[in-house]
Amino acid sequence: MFAEAQEARIGAGAAADRVGVTRLLLTNFRNYRETRIDIDTVPVVLAGPNGAGKTNLLEAISFLAPGRGLRAAKLTDIDHRPSPEQTEPTGGWAVSAIVATRRGNLRIGTGRDAALGERRLVRIDGEPARSQAALGERLSVLWLTPAMDRLFTEGPAGRRRFLDRLVLGLDPAHGSRVAAYEQTLRERSRLLRDGLGNPSWLTALEDVMAEQGVAVAAGRREAVHRLEQACAEADGPFPRARLMLAGTVENWLETMPALAAEARFAALLAASRQSEEHADGAVLGPHRSDLQVSLAKTGIAAERASTGEQKALLISILLAHARLQREVRGEPPLLLLDEVAAHLDASRRAALFDAILQLDSQAWLTGTDEAVFAPLRAGSQFLSVRDGSLLAAT
């Protein structure tokens, strides 16, 4: 599949006009025992029946970014199992890729070593990465999955994760700040719950929580502000989204500088220790914040819109963010769009496909009906997925 052209690209290591995966190797990943794909950087359509492994391929690519992938699965659950009866992991999995970027080719290897349990290993250009955060500095990956169709109607945790993925695309350091805040939050909660926290140690933890929490809130506020502008400038058949970040710390930052917000946050954490001994985490902080979305034209909250409008809103936000990231970072993200054509009429499908072709970035799209993606035929690559194997579609 496009192998000869890609060998020249891979060997040269030159900067690419389009961002995209040019080689992908999977080992013991879900239903893929050993798979290699050599492709071009134009969009990729994966067509095949349900259960064939289309989403598994997208999940593998999502591990080229920091985090737990588009399913947020346990790493041991990803191990290849030759038969349904085999419940024990087979000993780890690996994903290796060469990605063409505007700064040259990027070689990424990641996976699970059975001896290390739930720890994910990362190598970039042949060298061990200091952390997963290094992936976000080099590449951004965004996705939409059918599970996200309920993003606006379920609790705020999913919307925070979605927002943090968007912020990470604009500010690669955001992930490290979120991780530091959440780790300190868990440690403080454990000490309070077990009655083990001495005041000095709790004060030290709360100072870190305040510093990192205000930084997380500030990063989200800045990203939402810029994304709101990008959404307002969009045109076409997708509805414009209005975005608002709701949260106590975020509200403070509207009226006071960051250092004052840190001091106030730390003081409130110290004052609430006794009342939070049996609480599920601190009662306030960016872990309680929420992304509120509405239709800009009507003001109707996203959760009250139809299923089709909710899907269109998500796509509208994702495309606006991709354009914004191209402006901020100099290149757009990889897009993973699982069953994206569902709930879209023909005009919106055509608009989505046209936007994808104009992004200068590779998008991976899945569906059971190859004919739905016919407008992409001239400028994309079509692969047929059957039982964990791949063939070039005819």
Are 226 and 163 within 8 A, CB to CB? no
Question: What's the rounded mean pLDDT across residues 358-363?
Answer: 92
Residue 22 contacts by C-beta under 8 Å, 6 or more apart in sequence? 6, 9, 10, 38, 39, 40, 41, 98, 99, 100, 105
- Whether 85 has a pLDDT exceeding 80, the answer reads no
Q: Select the more confidently predicted residue: 276 or 272.
A: 272
Task: Choose the weakest-confidence range: 71-85, 130-144, 147-161.
Answer: 71-85
Q: What CA–CA distance (Å, rounded) separates 351 from 236? A: 7
**What residues form DSSP beta bridges with 79?**
29
Given a cut of 70, is residue 29 above it in pLDDT?
yes
Output the pLDDT for position 13: 52
Contact between residue 249 and residue 285 where contact means Cβ atoms under 8 Å apart: yes
141-159: average pLDDT: 95
Q: Residue 190: pLDDT above 50?
A: yes
pLDDT grade, residue 245 (50/70/90)? very high
Quick one: pLDDT at residue 280? 73
Backbone angles phi, psi at 266, to 5 degrees: -60, -40
- 12 — pLDDT class (breaks 50, 70, 90): very low
Between CA 181 and CA 50 the distance in angstroms is 39
Mean local confidence (pLDDT), 387-394: 80
Rounded CA-CA distance 110/112 in Å is 7
pLDDT surpasses 90 at 388: no
Specify the pairing of strand 363-367 against strand 290-295: unpaired
Mean per-residue pLDDT of the chain: 91
In whole angstroms, give the CA distance from residue 379 to residue 376: 6
Alpha helices in the chain (DSSP H): 3-12, 54-62, 133-138, 156-170, 174-194, 199-232, 248-252, 258-271, 307-329, 346-357
Dump pLDDT digits (tens) for 37-80: 999 999 999 999 999 999 999 999 999 999 999 999 999 999 99
The tokens for 28 are 């013991």
Instruction: Specify burial of residue 128 (Cβ count, 10 A radius: 0-12, 13-18, 19+).
Output: exposed
d(CA 179, CA 38): 34
pLDDT bin (cut points 50, 70, 90) of residue 17 is: confident
| 173 φ, ψ (degrees, to nearest 5) | -80, -10
Instruction: Read off the pTM.
Output: 0.91
Separation between Cα atoms, residue 195 and residue 240, nearest integer Å: 49
CA distances from 65 to 70, 118, 315, 326, 342 (A): 10, 17, 20, 17, 26
What is the pLDDT, as a whole number, of residue 227?
A: 97
Rounded to whole angstroms, the Cα distance separating 162 from 140 reads 14
pLDDT of residue 389: 84
Gap between the Cα atoms of 254 and 362, Å rounded: 37
Average of per-residue pLDDT across 208-229: 97
Higher pLDDT, 23 or 118: 23
What is the reported pLDDT for 278? 76
Q: Taking residues 229-257, what's their average pLDDT?
A: 95
What residues form DSSP beta bridges with 276? none
- pLDDT, average across residues 107-116: 92
Provide the percentage of residues in the chain whose pLDDT is more than 90: 79
- The pair phi, psi for residue 289, each rounded to 5°, is -75, 165
Q: What pLDDT, on a 0 to 100 scale, did the predictor assign at position 381?
A: 95
- Please tell me the predicted confidence (pLDDT) of residue 9: 41
| Plot region of 234 (φ>0 → left; ψ -120 to 50 → alpha; else → beta) | beta
Say if CB 313 and CB 294 are below 8 A apart: no
Backbone angles phi, psi at 313, to 5 degrees: -65, -45
Token reading at 365: 């799209």
What's the confidence (pLDDT) of residue 8? Answer: 41
Q: What is the percent of the chain with per-residue pLDDT over 70, rounded to a whole number? A: 94
Question: Domains of the chain, with CATH numbers?
Answer: 1-140+335-394 (3.40.50.300), 149-332 (1.20.1050.90)
The pLDDT-based confidence of 88 (bands split at 50, 70, 90) is low
